Amino acid sequence: MRRVAAVPLLGAALLSGLALPTVARAADAQGLVDALRTVAGKPPGVRATFARGQCVRGTYTPSADVGAVTRSISFTRPWPLVGRFSVGGGNPAVPDTARTVLRGFSIKILSDGGDTHLLFENAPVHFARTLDQMLGFLQARAPRADGKPDQEAIASFAKANPETTRQAAFVAAKPLPASYAGIVYWGVHTFTGVSAAGQAVPFKFKVVPAAGELALSDEEARSKPPQFLAAELAERLSRNPVRFDVMALLAEPGDDLAADVTQRWRNEDDRRAVRLGTIAVMAVEPNETCDDGIFDPGQLADGIGAPKDEIFTARRTAYGLSFGLRAK
């Protein structure tokens, strides 16, 4: 296993089992959830995406600088948290050795009377700019009668919608993650903090592992079992907590704060960031703890304003719908 120095870097999905429609229709959260499940083969009792994962518990500890970004009770005091590391897609059998599949990290900061839920992924952009584009992206990957997607339809959609290729290109350019504990995770959307001084502070979340980025060579990856990440994490936690710095990547004049989540900010890797605090993952938690509810992206304590882009707005409804389906 080789260690890659931690550098600034930050979800993926999939849709309908039908051919591309001859009449355009507006996408909504229900249609997206249905499509995600269809592409994955509609496995019962699992999430529409990030179906397989490992629940964990830990703590959040604020930094001395947090007030420059937010006055939120969730971030300005120490709290316990519940988290879930995961592998992208709606198929729980997706192998950890699939290099181009997203990795996710969701957390609930259990701040009494004002919990905050956050969703992070190992790419800095989403794979679609709008809900309709997301629908089209997934429909292009719909299985045909033989159970396989039409590669010509995928290529045609990508040519007409080049921004939908950015997330996949970012993930494909990275080596295979060796551990959930060695991944840089991103928030993708632009949040707005209210600082201790009452000022609005637009920013993006970035979660940076204390261990640096941990990656496998192609040769090392071939020796791994299909699902190794949960076992690797449990073994690592038996020795020491796993720590991450929670960073706020600050907006600059001219940044797009509400629209295109397939685009990074200019010079994003080099701009100023404030450390909000530290996550310490202490132990593996039974998956039922995470599966009995959702990580609700709209659950934000006062002092953190929700992103304004339509992808984020749809996430809250979609997560609730997905929970209802898997709870049946």
For residues 63 and 277, give the distance between their C-alpha atoms in angstroms, rounded to a whole number.
4
Strands 191-194 and 103-109: unpaired
180 known member of a binding site: no
Report how far apart, in Å, the C-alpha atoms of 227 and of each of 70, 87, 97 are.
38, 10, 7
10-39 burial by CB neighbour count: b if 16+ within 10 A, else e?
bbbbbbbbeeeeeeeeebbbebbbbbbbbb
Residue with tokens 């010079």: 267
Report how far apart, in Å, the C-alpha atoms of 257 and of each of 98, 133, 250, 298 are.
32, 19, 11, 17
For residues 7 and 182, give the distance between their C-alpha atoms in angstroms, rounded to a whole number.
11
Helix/strand/coil for 274: strand
Give the annotated binding-site residues for heme.
319
Give the annotated binding-site residues.
319
